[in-house]
Amino acid sequence: MAVVPAIGFFELILIPLLGLGGIILPGGVPPLPEDPALIRAVPADAILAVQWFGGTEPNPQSANATERLAANPEIKALVGTVIEAFHKTARMEAPPEIAQGVKSGLDILGLLAARPGCLYVSRLDLPPAQPNIAAGIIVNAGDKAAEAGRLLREIENLVLAQMSDGGRRPAAATSDVNGVPFRSLPLPPPVPPVAWGFSGEYLIVAAGDGTPARMLEALKAPKGLGATAAFAKMHAAVKTPAPVSRFYLNVEAVLAKITAMGGPEAAGALNALGLTSIQAVVAETGLEGAGVASKTLVAVKGVPSGLLRLCEGAPLADSDLALIPGDATIAAAFRLDAETIYNEFLTSLGTFDPRARDEFLREVPHGLERELGLSVTDDILRPLGDTWCLWSAPSDGGLLFTGLTLAVTVKDRERFQKTLDKIAGLMRREMGEPRGTGDRRPRRGLFLESTTCRGVAIQYLNSIGEEFPVAPAWCLTDTHFSISLFPQMLKTALARGAAVESSLARQTALKDRGGALALTYADTPSIFRMLYPLAHPLAQILCGKLQREGIDVTIASLPTAAGILPHLGPEVSTVARTDQGVLMITRGTVPSAGPVLGLMLPAMTVLGFRTVHAPVQQPTPLRAMGAHAR
């Protein structure tokens, strides 16, 4: 019977829920102490390494708000309910012959995620070379080693049964590697050999010829990636007191593979984007202070180019944040030289597609020159400064995104005013006036209007008879050009002025921003108060749909606001240049962390087993592999 993967409503909801919410799972916060042997067992020339640290029971009296949130009984109950529902769904939707294997797979993923472990890839050969891989997983299973072995044998038996063809069942092979027994499945070429075994309390899963022996040797005398001076220096920039997860990517090695596959064209494109100046990416997420921090270092060699030119400029001073009100719900500030970025864009576009670049120049810059006599660089980009601020604040009258205001510094006010006047003139000619001669009522449409505040002209789009819910507005002062969704936000900003003492710069969370040249801020408690009331009706609808699919999750599982709000704090993300490259840090109670590997894998398992059955009987891929192996 043919099996066709399909995605259902439950998976679309569950995957992002598990991926983004994993950081607060009771099983992962607080983490277990680091096992230094794991990262040192990763080969020094590894392309990729992912490390996790397991977890233990959270302390409800902890000084760390993230740990207290994880210890909250309502949160623990919700997580338990969701995980149980996920397991039940996976078992229900799996074909009967592999349902037990799905259960064993989910059980061992949960078991191994709760213990310190590491995954790495040290070799990856891609076409035109013969495809090949060398990779490994090492988990300090501790007192769970026996249970992990039992579950792996169950999965092994299931795989062998599925590989059976006509009643002939292949057998797993047992080999002795330096005194350690390893089990391996009879996989046909070009699938690399995969073997698993235990060296004491360490579970080892190895892919590739000779990998088991190399992993055993590394565990006995660890001197791999974690022991190299280069990695140690990069890791020092992202180190957290209590790490939850760690990530390493050898970008140079990856780009070399891409260049080998794509040839000179790929090399030119990578160079134009500035990616060839990146050596590696190292990231770590862990408990720090009163919350959790996610830190990422993009290690750079030489002079940055391409996309990395975005990370240039002087660090943001308090005066650069003076326009942003202190009660901002969301805010961002960054250095950006618009002319430099525009020129980098043209260079990159010309490298990728010279025709597209020529067409763009003909349609946009040359078109503006013909229609308005404006030069993109001389009249629009060059008069602008390099400091940009974006915010939305209740004091401006905004509700989250409805109050968004963007302001950029201006270097040449007179020239930019002439530019705005030309654009406004074109808009008036195209839109016309709302009333013609003798008209008793205004015409339908959008029209350019103007008002003033504190002697500053504010222009805005006025909608007449149209369902247009915003009135985009802009104004120019001696120091800034500002845009907002409504003129009221600009009026408030003009009346308030730039005052450091009452600005976002005085927020405690922004005091230690480490020479940031870009930052974002979110008042998480305020956003939670604003949006959580909407969660109740939405959750009720969601729970109703889940229950129709046989998933026992009711609205009662949703935590109360009182169980969450006391543990929330503001979230701040910063980008800074260092002597090693670009350092990005996010701090908060529940920062926007990436997917958690141990939770995403089960979610993807469900995707594989949500099936649509066709009436044609066909051999499964495992049976085909079993036949080939014999």
pLDDT (tens digit per residue) in 512-539: 888 899 999 999 999 999 999 998 999 9
CA distance linking residue 182 with residue 194, whole number of Å = 10
pLDDT (tens digit per residue) in 208-251: 989 999 999 998 877 899 989 999 999 999 999 999 999 999 99
- pLDDT higher than threshold 50 for residue 606: no
- pLDDT higher than threshold 90 for residue 263: no
pLDDT (tens digit per residue) in 476-494: 999 999 999 999 999 999 9
Identify the top-confidence range among 5-9, 44-48, 85-89: 44-48
CA distance linking residue 610 with residue 12, whole number of Å = 12
Task: Give the rounded percent of residues in the chain with a pLDDT score beyond 70.
Answer: 87
Sign, CA dihedral 62-64-65-68, equals: negative
pLDDT (tens digit per residue) in 309-354: 777 788 999 999 999 999 999 999 999 999 988 988 888 888 878 8
CA distance linking residue 516 with residue 526, whole number of Å = 24
Say if CB 630 and CB 20 are below 8 A apart. no
Residue among 563, 545, 565 at smallest CA distance from 555: 545
For the ranges 203-212, 358-367, 583-592, which has the lowest average pLDDT? 583-592
Q: What is the pLDDT of residue 604?
A: 33
Domain residue spans in the chain?
3-227+596-629, 317-433+441-512
Report in angstroms the alpha-carbon separations of 331 from 6, 91, 535: 39, 44, 24
Strands 581-588 and 405-410: unpaired
Stretch (H or E) spanning 479: none
Mean pLDDT for all residues in the chain:
84
CA distance linking residue 249 with residue 247, whole number of Å = 7
Q: Which amino acid is at 67?
A: E
Neighbours of 611 (CB within 10 A): 15
Average pLDDT over residues 401-422: 95
Q: What is the pLDDT of residue 166?
A: 65
Cβ contacts of 258 within 8 Å, gap of 6 or more: 266, 270
Confidence label for 511 from pLDDT (cuts 50, 70 and 90)? confident
Q: 482 by DSSP, 3-state: which?
A: strand
Identify the top-confidence range among 301-315, 335-349, 423-437, 489-503: 489-503
Average pLDDT over residues 298-313: 78
Q: What is the pLDDT of residue 247?
A: 94
Instruction: Tell me the whole-structure pTM to 2 decimals.
Output: 0.85
Q: What is the pLDDT of residue 261?
A: 75
SS3 content of the chain, % helix, strand, coil (to 5): 45, 25, 30
